[in-house]
Amino acid sequence: MARLAFLGPHATFTEQALRSLPESRGADLLPCSGSPAVLEAVRIGAADAGCVPIENSVEGAVGAVLDGLVADPPLVIVREALVAVRFAVMVRAGTRAADVRRVGSHPHAVAQTRGWIAAHLPGAEVLLTSSTSGAAEQVAAGELDAAIAAPLAAEQHGLEILVDDVADNPGAVTRFVLVAPPAPPPPPTGFDRTTFAATTQNRPGSLLGLLTELAVRGIDLTRIESRPIKDRHAEYWFHIDCSGHVAEPAMGEALAALHRRCDRVRFLGSFPRAGEGGPSSGADRTAPLGAAGAPAFAAAQRWLDGLREGSVA
């Protein structure tokens, strides 16, 4: 039986994301206290894979996860999931809004409901917790008066929902990833994402040169984040997501070029993209990604082979 770690306790959005993935069927789900603990469980072999949040449509990237992915031993992303975030304010039975003096939640949840809290719980102290479900657990234990969490957490911890569907930005989505020890990536689907991190020398044009390796091969850059290298002043990891798969000629050629150009490149996975247009949406998955598809790269390789053999046609 596979062992899958996730940001716990039970009834978090991360568990919801994990249960949406096929890998969770029949697996033993192991809640961990914090995303770093999930990554560590996979690294030491206590779990076969782990699910963590990596990006929110309102708050952006989860820095602790980006930092953890470039630590050693290496890990790679094998799948992703998108979860529409729906928050509820939950309390112990009989608690009214006027009774709430301490409300808690995960930092990203607080950031997405800060305006609502200020308008409806203006006198409440806001406390940060390691997870949304953990805040609900603290309410059940009497340590907090209210929690902002997924509605499932109220059922899990025997709480009442005081107000449902609270958010400053309705429609927020969080992207979660399943990470595992390095292995051959899932085969290409035609709608994939490749993610990697790279460091460059701190000189003019270094980042432009990195991005040019992608642009000249028609690779669509979908996200870039910089994170400081912890033991080096003014040096950064650039975390990059692209459309495409390492098995495709354009992406493979770009990664090889970056390996030559950059100080360090950490491949973090090629995997099916989640969401609209993804493998389960019925979208056309045969169209080449980027400006030049596999046939063009194959023709160029044949031309190059001919040059090396003495042909100039």
- Is the pLDDT assigned to residue 313 strictly greater than 80? no
Residue 32 lies in a domain: yes
Q: Residue 276 — pLDDT band, cuts 50, 70, 90?
A: low
Domain that holds residue 273: 185-291
Both 66 and 179 in one domain: the answer is: yes
| Residue-wise DSSP of 95-110 | --GGG--EEEE-HHHH
User: Strand pairing partners for 20?
Assistant: none
Number of domains present in the structure of the chain = 3
Both 37 and 148 in one domain: the answer is: no
Both 43 and 178 in one domain: the answer is: yes
Mean pLDDT of 251-269: 92
165-195: pLDDT as tens digits: 998 888 889 999 999 999 999 999 999 999 9
Residue 97 lies in a domain: yes
Q: Which of the two residues, 296 and 16, has the higher pLDDT score?
A: 16
Residue 60 lies in a domain: yes
Residue 202 lies in a domain: yes
Q: Is 249 helix (H, G, I), strand (E, B) or coil?
A: helix
Both 179 and 199 in one domain: the answer is: no
Both 194 and 149 in one domain: the answer is: no
Q: What is the CATH number of the domain that holds 283?
A: 3.30.70.260
237 Cβ neighbours under 8 A, 6+ residues apart: 66, 70, 197, 198, 199, 226, 227, 228, 229, 266
pLDDT at 141: 96
Both 70 and 179 in one domain: the answer is: yes
% the chain with pLDDT above 70: 93
> Of 7-16, 101-110, 123-132, 302-311, which range is least confident?
302-311
Both 283 and 206 in one domain: the answer is: yes
Both 195 and 281 in one domain: the answer is: yes
Both 51 and 179 in one domain: the answer is: yes
Residue 299 lies in a domain: no
- Is the pLDDT assigned to residue 215 strictly greater than 90? yes
CA-atom Rg of the chain in angstroms: 22
Mean pLDDT of 243-258: 93
| Residue-wise DSSP of 195-231 | EEEEE--SSTTHHHHHHHHHHTTT--EEEEEEEE-TT
Both 28 and 177 in one domain: the answer is: yes
Provide the terminal-to-terminal Cα distance of the chain, rounded to the nearest Å.
Answer: 57
54 is written with which tokens? 């990596």
Residue 4 lies in a domain: yes
Q: What is the CATH number of the domain that holds 98?
A: 3.40.190.10
Both 79 and 102 in one domain: the answer is: no
Q: Residue 292 — pLDDT band, cuts 50, 70, 90?
A: low
- Is the pLDDT assigned to residue 207 strictly greater than 80? yes
Evaluate the omega torsion of the peptide bond into residue 36 and state whether it is cis, within 30 degrees of 0.
no
- Is the pLDDT assigned to residue 288 strictly greater than 60? no
Q: Which of the two residues, 312 and 256, has the higher pLDDT score?
A: 256
Both 177 and 236 in one domain: the answer is: no
